[in-house]
Amino acid sequence: MTRHPGLGRLTAGLATATVLCLTATGCVTVHGELEVLPGAKKSEAAQALKDFTDAYNAADKAFDPALDADRVTGSLGAINQAGLKARQTYNPDGNKAHKPLVLDDATYVIPKKAGWPRWFLADTDSNRDQDGGKLDTRWLVVFVRTGPDALWKAAYLGVLPASQVPEFTLDGDGLATPVKPQDDELAVAPADLSASYTGYLQNGTPDVFTPSTSTSGWRETRRTTRRAGFSYQYIDQPLTDSTFAPLGLRTEDGGALVFFNSKHFERQVAAKGLRPEVNPDVKALLTGEVNSTLTKERVSSQLVHVPPRAAGAGSGADTGSGGKVRMLNRLPGLIAAKGE
């Protein structure tokens, strides 16, 4: 509880060039678009938020993934589409309890960058507070656009108490600064966060995260999970390719707010005479037949604060409790299941 933005015209000198390159910032530059530009106009950002919300509400009301498939991508898209597919299976008449999602009071944090994809962050208020509004929370939605003819799509969602939304580093024009995938000024480079997280969950190293329910707490929960007649196995994998790439913005404290993804498998094996439980969501996404084994596949997005790298420490090094990555929000979702 992260895309691909677009905007801008080519300069005359670059308009005829056709260049395809992967830059150091992780963006793809096409047709000579090398000029550093805002990721979006604020009017574009506002329209993208409206288009996403409208499509999301239509899809949620009908439990029809086709209705917002062209407005979501990345981990948010994978989770959204699988969830709608599952619910449509056992609610073919749609969502009788549908309540429209409202995202308002939006602030748009727009980075400046060259080439594609381009992206921005919408910092919004929602009508989905779970505690009756006692805690003021913000929904941070990252929108990405892959090219000048592509639609804006929501790729990441993080939900934070308003007090935890950081101050972003802005220039004189009010534009934010994106962090490079291999930024060596941070305690952990954004490109390394997924591997660091999944490695930590698997074997406890590298120990670069502060204790939380999604780090040390999750490892402990796995270790102590017991059920008579059943054994559990967990596999965690980095997820960084293409639409799952990490995205981050520099913050005023010298660190960065970063979204990144990961993939997780949970395998449950039953003793002879027993069978793993299959709930409606699992059944709807299931391939194969569950006899003694059930494997659940989940995608997860994480929102973290990465502090600046301590003097003399290498990227990814343990810089002490004050220099560790702090988990702010985790959004997991079941995307597939396999029976054996």
Give per-residue pLDDT as tens, 255-267. Answer: 999 999 999 999 9
* pLDDT of res. 59: 98
Band of residue 3 on the pLDDT scale cut at 50, 70, 90: very low
Band of residue 32 on the pLDDT scale cut at 50, 70, 90: very low
What average pLDDT does this structure show over 38-52?
97
Residue 19 has pLDDT above 90, yes or no: no
Q: Are 72 and 53 in contact (CB under 8 A)?
A: no
What average pLDDT does this structure show over 21-37?
52
Q: Which domains are seen in the chain, by residue range?
A: 1-177 (3.10.450), 179-340 (no CATH)
* pLDDT of res. 8: 36
* pLDDT of res. 1: 41
Band of residue 34 on the pLDDT scale cut at 50, 70, 90: confident
Residue 249 has pLDDT above 70, yes or no: yes
Of 16 and 277, the one with more pLDDT: 277
* pLDDT of res. 142: 98
- Provide the pairing of β-strand 286-288 with 326-339: parallel
Using CA atoms in the order 168, 4, 34, 22, what is the torsion angle rounded to 10 degrees? 110
* pLDDT of res. 133: 61
Of 56 and 321, the one with more pLDDT: 56
* pLDDT of res. 135: 79
Lowest mean per-residue pLDDT among 1-5, 192-196, 231-235, 320-324: 1-5
Residue 31 has pLDDT above 70, yes or no: no
Measured distance CA(338)–CA(340) in Å, rounded: 7
Side-chain-facing half-sphere of 63: CA atoms under 13 Å: 15
Band of residue 131 on the pLDDT scale cut at 50, 70, 90: low
Whether the predicted model's global pTM rises above the 0.75 cut: yes
* pLDDT of res. 102: 98
The fraction of the chain above a pLDDT of 70, given in percent, is: 85
* pLDDT of res. 329: 98
* pLDDT of res. 310: 82
Of 25 and 285, the one with more pLDDT: 285
HEC secondary structure over 82-119: HHHHHHHHHCCCCCCCCCCCCEEEEEEECEEEECECEE
* pLDDT of res. 158: 98
Which residues sit opposite 251 in a β-bridge? Answer: 168
Cα separations in angstroms, 174 against 43, 108, 170, 299: 15, 10, 5, 34
Beta strands in 48-93 (DSSP E): none
Using CA atoms in the order 44, 47, 51, 52, what is the torsion angle rounded to 10 degrees? 70
Q: Are 236 and 204 in contact (CB under 8 A)?
A: no
What average pLDDT does this structure show over 173-198?
97
